[in-house]
Chains A and B, each alone.
Chain A
Amino acid sequence: MEERMETGQEATLQTLAERVLEEAKQRGATAVEVNTHSGEGLSVEVRLAEVDTLEYHRDQGMGLTVYYGQKKGHASTADLSEKAVLETVEAACRIAKYTAEDDYAGLADAELMATEFPDLDLYHPWGITADEAIALARTCENAARDYSPLITNADGTGVTTYRGFSVYANTHGFMGTNRGSRHSISCGMVAQEGDSMQRDYWYSTARLSEQLETPEAIGKKAAERTVKRLHGQPVSTTTAPVLYLPQIARSLISHFTSAISGSAQYNKASFFLDALGEKVFPEFVRLYEQPFIPQALGSACFDKEGVALKNKDLVAGGIIQSYLLGSYSARKLGMQSTGNAGGTHNLTLESTGQSLEALLKEMGTGLLVSELIGNSVNGITGDYSRGASGFWVENGEIQYPVEEVTIAGNLKDMYQGIVAIGNDVDYQGSTRTGSILIEAMTIAGK
């Protein structure tokens, strides 16, 4: 019964996609691409043992891009009634009349379309009822509140589950379907002692509910992280090594992928402009993309334009091996799409093998950063300045919690200054990395 309903949902989205292609072609479009999606989910939040919110989600939508020769228009709708769908097709066609002839516009080349669709095992609905989700959230929060008497308040503990389908089709005759699920448990706590009050959280997310960390472990970790932050203080302004924990080290990779994205390159808005083939990291740095990992959060068979994906290195031997291109930016740069329209699929920064403890020892004296706040990162110059909190480390040992400081530098120097990448890899996202140790940054404080 369940399986039949899902097949029905996919078929409805496929039929709608075909219909939209046809409607746009009838209005004279020379090429069309369309995306349709639908999904549903449940989320509950519990706070201090009481249910705070219970939400049922149901999303759907359709978006199309039409081309009249080299002119294009885009429109989308969340209302899939006949009237709204036709209005949306009309709007895309109208807009195309006013956009300019753009030599680089168009569908991705037909020969790049994906032809193989291995089952990546990404769809595992969690048949959890609202009551069961509430019970899990309570278990998680209880574990956090039992951890320490210093846990005095709560920010909310949530359980969410979502499953959805999407279809991408274009007038090359390509049609691809994605189905996926995503579940998570998150726990936010508040600790207080004297006049110091702090919050922190922990979470777990996965495509299979069985792969989530236990609610008890999540609650305990959330509480532990919160209590550890009590009585944070600024350090004196100094220059020192900085160690990013994995959850925030990921942001250093995203600044890099922005810099090698097609639009940053063709707009000359990158601090790594024309840097393909340049050595911008130490020799040991390797960053690679693996789109086909079964059950992984970032896995897919084709990109947003239907282009086939492949395993590839973005950085090897510290040298930039590939930009991240969709068809538009590829044509603008005189290159070929790398299958990255819409982003990357499972990036991994190769570890240099050390544990977090070993990295602390290697750092000696410096700042272990557990949270970043604000985002003063200049994508053109690489100038970097962000608010930070974490722990001051001396002789490889954590001394006291730190807050109200900033860490600053230039990303080009920071990347060259990577000393080590830990084996404490965080798998809870489509970018995987361990802790990253950077040789020196300016820390501004009192």
Chain B
Amino acid sequence: MNTNPLHVAQAAILDPAGLSEADLNRVFATFNQTSIDLADIYFQSSRTESWSLEDSIVKTGAYSIEQGFGVRAVSGEQTGFAYSDEITLGALLESARAARAISKSGKSQKAKVWHRHDNPQRLYLPSDPLASLVDTEKIALLHLADKTARAESSYVQQVIPTLSASYEVILIADNEGRLVADVRPLVRMNVSVIVDKGGQRESASFGGGGRFGLDWFTREGRAESYAREAVRQALVNVEAVAAPAGSMDVVLGNGWPGILLHEAVGHGLEGDFNRKGTSAFAGRIGEQVASRGVTVVDDGTLENRRGSLSVDDEGTPTQCTTLIEDGILKGYMQDKLNARLMSAEPTGNGRRQSYSYLPMPRMTNTYMHAGDYAPEEIIASVDKGLYAVSFGGGQVDITSGKFVFSSSEAYLIENGKLGKPVKGATLIGDGPSAMTRISMIGNDLQLDSGVGMCGKAGQSVPVGVGQPTLRINDLTVGGTA
């Protein structure tokens, strides 16, 4: 197998279209005599396949092809952009002329000598996950999850296991003459269940994934463990009482509840909002924005993780960026455009949903470093409050700093002991001030199981989150009791 991403991209994108380096030169020549500071072509060729069961039979199977390119030209703060599903020299030239429209006349540029930049960072194997199992094995995996869930409890009424795999090859050609490629596998498995216990119905789902083959789910009982975990959560929620309403001390479990960081501080530290001065964190580098002991990083370099990338969508290698160190705001996440305008360096956070969207600063894997407390100790410290271990999703208003996240498994804490489970509720807070009310940090850092999806300005990208168990004082819990 050819594992050099540049060779894979050449074979998957340039060769079928009959495009040569001279052709790329012709496209970039469009920007000659213009004021363009930055220009690139993003080529993408991807295949996605998904399967699901319902009522224990294969309900759907779907396959999709997404292929095309986007041409971007940046002059100062202005970006011109055009894209096409058709990878041909004609379409490239036409798109480049359209993208150039924002530029004024400017300096002449030399023809490129293309430099194939062989990025040494390889965080995942460039293999095709669609071919990692044969179709009958994919179906068998779904049936295994279905059977496991149904065997787990007689209250299980419906099981919907889903499996998806995508194989994406990207190639970036930029105005500095660099050619950078990446080959990105991504898989995900999810098990949703509906239980009915004496007429009380509830649902829950659990899953995992990352940048590897589908065979990962067949090992170490993963598919079965997702099924059991979904059933367990649904049965807990059947017994749930109304969630409390009002401000209280909240203990967040480790792993996926790290969605707190993603919403409360992550988005607010993306370069674009800070360059524009519309983030509640704008202009606050060097200030204390969280309790002492709080260190938050965005790390795109973790092997095989869902949020990881060997290079971002502008060809910049990803890195581990410290956002908050011991409570002090250290840095922002940058793409090329915003880094240039803020006189900073790109941090490998320039990401886009596909060729038909412009890149912007996005998170990769965002998590908080561990502290010293045992999780039990943290729960025992709370007189009256909430212990939330699983969440649905979250959202933030960057400008006011207000963020929410929705608990899907939570328990009351009374006198330091766990009480009854409570129904799902929204937790709401103010990002910059909530982070200063983190009063205890656990020693049990964990990353999520690989299911995160983040939406911004209409674009979705896969991300990861993580954190140790945390105590936050005075967070508003949106229940009814």
A residues at B contact (CB < 8 Å): 47, 50-61, 63, 72-81, 84, 87-88, 91-92, 94-102, 130, 153-155, 190, 197-199, 229, 232, 234, 237, 267-269, 273, 373-376, 378-381, 383, 385-387, 389, 403-410, 442-446
**Segment at the interface with A among B194-202, B223-231, B319-327:** B194-202
Tell me whether A267 and B54 are in contact (CB under 8 A).
yes
Tell me whether A98 and B247 are in contact (CB under 8 A).
no
Complex alpha-carbon distance, A172 and B405, angstroms: 47
B425 surroundings in chain A (CB, below 8 A): 376, 385, 406, 408
Tell me whether A374 and B202 are in contact (CB under 8 A).
no
A154 surroundings in chain B (CB, below 8 A): 276
Quick one: CB contact mask for B174-208 with A, threshold 8 Å, 1 for yes? 00000000000000000000101000011100000
A60 surroundings in chain B (CB, below 8 A): 85
Quick one: CB contact mask for B56-73 with A, threshold 8 Å, 1 for yes? 011111111111100000
User: Contacting A98 at CB < 8 Å: which of B61, B67, B276?
Assistant: B61
Tell me whether A52 and B423 are in contact (CB under 8 A).
no
Tell me whether B424 and A376 are in contact (CB under 8 A).
yes
User: Contacting A267 at CB < 8 Å: which of B194, B278, B430?
Assistant: B194
Tell me whether A88 and B67 are in contact (CB under 8 A).
no
A378 surroundings in chain B (CB, below 8 A): 203, 423-424
Task: For the complex formed, measure the closest distance between the CB of B171 and the CB atoms of chain A, giving whole angstroms.
Answer: 16
Ordered by A's residue number, 24 sampled pairs between the chains whose C-beta atoms are within 8 Å are A50-B78, A51-B78, A54-B79, A72-B60, A73-B62, A73-B63, A78-B67, A79-B65, A79-B68, A79-B85, A88-B63, A92-B63, A95-B61, A95-B62, A100-B57, A197-B399, A273-B201, A376-B424, A376-B426, A386-B478, A406-B428, A408-B478, A442-B480, A445-B247
Name the residue of chain A whose CB is nearest to the CB of B457: A156
**Which of A75, A88, A409, A410 has the most C-beta atoms of chain B within 10 angstroms of its own C-beta?**
A75
**Segment at the interface with A among B23-31, B106-114, B307-315, B390-398:** B390-398
B428 surroundings in chain A (CB, below 8 A): 373-374, 387, 404-406, 444
User: Contacting B78 at CB < 8 Å: which of A52, A75, A80, A88?
Assistant: A52
Tell me whether B395 and A52 are in contact (CB under 8 A).
no
Tell me whether A100 and B58 are in contact (CB under 8 A).
yes
Beyond A55-B358, A387-B426, whether A268 also contacts B400 by CB under 8 A is: no
Name the residue of chain A whose CB is nearest to the CB of B200: A381
Tell me whether A81 and B86 are in contact (CB under 8 A).
yes
User: Contacting A197 at CB < 8 Å: which of B67, B78, B400?
Assistant: B400
**Segment at the interface with A among B95-103, B115-123, B344-352:** B95-103
B84 part of interface (Cβ distance < 8 Å): yes
B residues at A contact (CB < 8 Å): 49, 51, 54, 57-68, 76-86, 95, 98-99, 101-102, 135-136, 138-139, 157-158, 160, 194, 196, 201-203, 243, 245-247, 276-278, 280, 356, 358, 392-400, 402, 404-407, 423-426, 428-430, 476-480
User: Contacting B476 at CB < 8 Å: which of A76, A389, A446?
Assistant: A446
Beyond A378-B424, A385-B425, A445-B246, whether A50 also contacts B77 by CB under 8 A is: yes
Task: For the complex formed, measure the closest distance between the CB of A237 and the CB atoms of chain B, giving whole angstroms.
Answer: 4
Task: For the complex formed, measure the closest distance between the CB of A200 and the CB atoms of chain B, giving whole angstroms.
Answer: 9
**Which of A88, A155, A198, A444 has the most C-beta atoms of chain B within 10 angstroms of its own C-beta?**
A444
Task: For the complex formed, measure the closest distance between the CB of B156 and the CB atoms of chain A, giving whole angstroms.
Answer: 12
Complex alpha-carbon distance, A389 and B428, angstroms: 11
Tell me whether B64 and A56 are in contact (CB under 8 A).
no
Tell me whether A59 and B395 are in contact (CB under 8 A).
no
A381 surroundings in chain B (CB, below 8 A): 201-202, 423
Tell me whether A88 and B65 are in contact (CB under 8 A).
yes
Tell me whether B478 and A387 are in contact (CB under 8 A).
yes
Name the residue of chain A whose CB is nearest to the CB of B54: A267
Question: Told that A190-B278, A374-B428 touch, could you supply 13 new A-B pairs with CB distance under 8 A?
Answer: A51-B102, A73-B63, A75-B62, A75-B63, A78-B64, A94-B135, A96-B61, A100-B59, A198-B400, A267-B54, A376-B392, A381-B202, A408-B243
Beyond A199-B278, A403-B400, whether A99 also contacts B60 by CB under 8 A is: yes
A52 surroundings in chain B (CB, below 8 A): 77-79
A155 surroundings in chain B (CB, below 8 A): 276, 278, 399
Complex alpha-carbon distance, A387 and B396, angstroms: 10
Name the residue of chain B whose CB is nearest to the CB of A84: B65
Name the residue of chain B whose CB is nearest to the CB of A87: B65
Complex alpha-carbon distance, A165 and B202, angstroms: 41
Tell me whether B478 and A78 are in contact (CB under 8 A).
no
**Which of B60, B136, B397, B428 has the most C-beta atoms of chain A within 10 angstroms of its own C-beta?**
B428
Name the residue of chain A whose CB is nearest to the CB of B246: A237
Tell me whether A199 and B399 are in contact (CB under 8 A).
yes
Task: For the complex formed, measure the closest distance between the CB of A258 and the CB atoms of chain B, giving whole angstroms.
Answer: 13
Name the residue of chain B whose CB is nearest to the CB of A332: B55
Task: For the complex formed, measure the closest distance between the CB of A154 and the CB atoms of chain B, giving whole angstroms.
Answer: 8
User: Contacting A199 at CB < 8 Å: which of B356, B398, B423, B426?
Assistant: B398
Complex alpha-carbon distance, A409 and B138, angstroms: 41
User: Contacting B402 at CB < 8 Å: which of A47, A389, A443?
Assistant: A389
Tell me whether A198 and B65 are in contact (CB under 8 A).
no
Tell me whether A444 and B479 are in contact (CB under 8 A).
yes
A87 surroundings in chain B (CB, below 8 A): 65
Beyond A380-B194, A403-B402, A442-B479, whether A95 also contacts B63 by CB under 8 A is: yes
Name the residue of chain A whose CB is nearest to the CB of B408: A376
User: Contacting A376 at CB < 8 Å: which of B201, B407, B476?
Assistant: B407
Task: For the complex formed, measure the closest distance between the CB of A240 and the CB atoms of chain B, giving whole angstroms.
Answer: 12
Beyond A98-B58, A99-B60, whether A408 also contacts B245 by CB under 8 A is: yes
Tell me whether A76 and B62 are in contact (CB under 8 A).
yes
User: Contacting A406 at CB < 8 Å: which of B65, B81, B398, B476?
Assistant: B476
Task: For the complex formed, measure the closest distance between the CB of A170 and the CB atoms of chain B, giving whole angstroms.
Answer: 18
Tell me whether B430 and A375 are in contact (CB under 8 A).
no
For the complex of A and B, 10 pairs with smallest distance between CB atoms: A406-B478, A374-B404, A95-B61, A376-B406, A100-B57, A91-B63, A199-B399, A387-B404, A77-B65, A444-B245
Tell me whether B478 and A376 are in contact (CB under 8 A).
yes
Task: For the complex formed, measure the closest distance between the CB of A366 and the CB atoms of chain B, giving whole angstroms.
Answer: 16
Complex alpha-carbon distance, A235 and B98, angstroms: 51
A51 surroundings in chain B (CB, below 8 A): 78, 102
Tell me whether A408 and B480 are in contact (CB under 8 A).
yes
Name the residue of chain B whose CB is nearest to the CB of A96: B61
A268 surroundings in chain B (CB, below 8 A): 157-158, 194, 196, 201
User: Contacting A380 at CB < 8 Å: which of B203, B405, B477, B480?
Assistant: B203
B246 surroundings in chain A (CB, below 8 A): 237, 444-445
Complex alpha-carbon distance, A268 and B102, angstroms: 53
Tell me whether B61 and A385 are in contact (CB under 8 A).
no
Tell me whether A78 and B85 are in contact (CB under 8 A).
yes
Tell me whether A56 and B86 are in contact (CB under 8 A).
no
User: Contacting A56 at CB < 8 Å: which of B60, B81, B139, B402?
Assistant: B81
A198 surroundings in chain B (CB, below 8 A): 399-400
Tell me whether A53 and B78 are in contact (CB under 8 A).
yes
User: Contacting A54 at CB < 8 Å: which of B54, B102, B245, B399?
Assistant: B102
Task: For the complex formed, measure the closest distance between the CB of B400 and the CB atoms of chain A, giving whole angstroms.
Answer: 5
Name the residue of chain B whose CB is nearest to the CB of A75: B63
Complex alpha-carbon distance, A322 and B160, angstroms: 26
Tell me whether A406 and B424 are in contact (CB under 8 A).
no
Tell me whether A374 and B394 are in contact (CB under 8 A).
yes
Tell me whether B424 and A58 are in contact (CB under 8 A).
no
A380 surroundings in chain B (CB, below 8 A): 194, 201-203
Complex alpha-carbon distance, A57 and B66, angstroms: 15
Complex alpha-carbon distance, A442 and B247, angstroms: 13
Tell me whether A383 and B276 are in contact (CB under 8 A).
no
Task: For the complex formed, measure the closest distance between the CB of B401 and the CB atoms of chain A, giving whole angstroms.
Answer: 8
Task: For the complex formed, measure the closest distance between the CB of B338 and the CB atoms of chain A, giving whole angstroms.
Answer: 12
Name the residue of chain B whose CB is nearest to the CB of A103: B57
Complex alpha-carbon distance, A333 and B135, angstroms: 30
Tell me whether A74 and B82 are in contact (CB under 8 A).
no
Tell me whether A74 and B78 are in contact (CB under 8 A).
no
Tell me whether B67 and A74 are in contact (CB under 8 A).
no
A404 surroundings in chain B (CB, below 8 A): 402, 428-430, 476
Complex alpha-carbon distance, A379 and B192, angstroms: 14
Complex alpha-carbon distance, A268 and B197, angstroms: 13
